[in-house]
Copies of this chain bind each other. A is one copy, B any other.
Amino acid sequence: MRATAIHAPFDIRVEDVPDAAIRQPGDAVVRVVRACICGSDLWAYRGEAAREPGQRIGHEFLGVVEETGSEVSGLTAGDLVVAPFMWSDGVCEYCADGLTTSCVHGGFWGSVGSDGGQGEAVRVPFADATLVKLPAEALSDDRLLSALLALSDVMGTGHHAAIGAGVGPGTTVAVVGDGAVGLCGVLAAKRLGAERIIALGRHTARTDIARTFGATDVVAERGEAAVAAVRELTRGQGAHAVIEAVGTEQSMRTAVGITRDGGAIGYVGVPHGSGTGLDLGEMFNRNIALRGGVAPVRSYIPELLPDILSGAIDPSPVFDHAVDLEGVPGGYKAMDERTALKVIVKL
């Protein structure tokens, strides 16, 4: 089959690889219908995250079950399914707590020895626990497929940030980061009843989506100026709930600066850089909490799926550029050069 592999920084290739196949009785093989490129894939692309030469890549996909192992009971060939960005066994203590990302048998698509999402098919371990069935009708609805694909990562990750930040009815929320996750954070905050949502971003195309998703204010400034602007909008206090969807020291510093005393930062931007950007003394004096991390999106799908199916939320606008499988390398280039917000791969 054809699949995407990364051979070196900036060397992404679509190439022939061994067909995805059942190895364990709990496995399923899923033929990919939609995949996408994640902001975090760019780290490998740029050489900021190490990869083995030839390692597969892509961790977001939905598709049709092609084959199931002997112990798979909840899925049959032909089912349309979405995969969260990690697999999980569904039975360990962490899975029981809903923290599927800490599953003792969990793993990432594209890790060494595993299929990646940006390919024709994927072997899915613990298929019953990992995959979530979607209505077959969605297959003929291109927009809906895009919206559902967001459940594999960005929508659930934005939701995780909103939960971590303590978004609830009546809260004022600020969102640091205008990538797909930040935008989904806006959508999640709106869904959770936020009264006011301040989106930080300077790319009009992105902040326009933020407004569509529910942002009431946009702040284009950065750093100290952004902190001042958010405080200006909040009578000097800052936001009750801050979604941090970047992961740099500067973004974390901004997040602390714009959080209201007693508020919380929901952080889902994978931390990079040598420092944390956290001023623990300021956080201490102002009782600012920090909650978040790698999002257990599998656990959120049952809650978010009905709202996507009903149209109550529609994250599909985060996909602003489409390619076919052979076009994936060009998709990376477009995202790296920021000419695309998030690239969808249609197979």
Tell yes or no: A207 within 8 A of B by CB. Answer: no
- Interface SS of chain A: mixed
Q: What 1/0 flags go to A261-295 for Cβ under 8 Å of B? A: 11010010011000010101101111111111110
CB of A280 within 8 A of CB of B278, answer: yes
CA–CA, A164 to B283, complex, Å? 13
Q: Is A291 a contact partner of B294 (Cβ separation < 8 A)?
A: no
Cα A276 to Cα B97 in complex, Å, equals 29
What count of chain A residues pass the 8 Å CB interface test?
A: 31
CB-CB nearest in chain B for A273: B280
Given contacts A97-B262, A262-B94, A262-B99, contact A280 B276 (CB under 8 A): yes
Cα-based distance from A270 to B164 in the complex (angstroms): 23
Give the complex CA separation of A93 and B284 in angstroms: 19
Our pick among B278, B281, B294 for the contact of A285 (Cβ within 8 Å) is B294
Partner of A294, one of B267, B287, B294: B287
State A164–B294 Cα separation when bound (angstroms).
Answer: 21
A346 to B292, CA, bound (A): 46
Which are the 5 A-B pairs with shortest beta-carbon distances? A287-B293, A102-B261, A289-B291, A99-B262, A271-B280
